[in-house]
Copies of this chain bind each other. A is one copy, B any other.
């Protein structure tokens, strides 16, 4: 048996957002590797071995996947969203680059998925409908000064912004600092979208003018989208629509 690794994105949560390509990989796998809640999304079946691990062991998990594939297993590393956006694909390639040379010859594929910012954007309307950036607000793997620099430059560029990992229990102060930077750098009342657990039964969506945003509006299951200076709100019965026009005069 020739082994392989496929790094698959399972989307934000709903099964109807899992691509047929990812579903096919799961059906062909002998082993599933990933963070506990993502592995739990894959149904058990005869002959399938599930290896669930806790958060923050991405490199160990990657090496495990590569070792299993070297031994001939068909391994799917599962991510939520898209594996190439703040998820497992970079970790696996870091392990490849720093591992035994033979790992470079393995059959490794990345299967794209619906990433959280695009699922959140779709629920709100089209806030990312013009130029935008995506920033991971966690300072586990980069200094806070770099995050702050990127926030200020993104505001100056008038990008809409999508924030992954805005706030965790262990770093509650980072998002408060980010909001302070944005309020100062943007200097207007553009809309902020707090989209929690999109496409799951716990989904909630909240649209708040930037000056009124407070840190506790986000947790680690929240995707935060900030409009550009051009972003519009369409009021109507029920939830308003937030969108960024295609053109800038």
Contacts and interface: CB of A to CB of B under 8 A. Distances in A.
A143 interface: yes
A247 to B, nearest CB: 4
Contacts of A91: 246
Interface string A107-148: 011111111001101110111111111111000011100100
A55 to B, nearest CB: 13
A154 interface: yes
A129 B90 contact: yes
B143 A135 contact: no
A65 to B, nearest CB: 14
A126 B246 contact: no
A153 interface: yes
Contact of A126 (B93, B122, B130): B93
Contact of A90 (B24, B93, B109, B243): B243
Contacts of A110: 121-123, 125-126
Interface of A: 11, 14-21, 24, 58, 82-87, 89-91, 93-94, 96-97, 104-105, 108-115, 118-119, 121-123, 125-136, 141-143, 146, 149-150, 153-154, 156-159, 232, 234-237, 241, 243-248
* Nearest 7 interchain pairs by C-beta: A90-B129, A89-B126, A141-B247, A133-B133, A104-B236, A110-B122, A93-B243
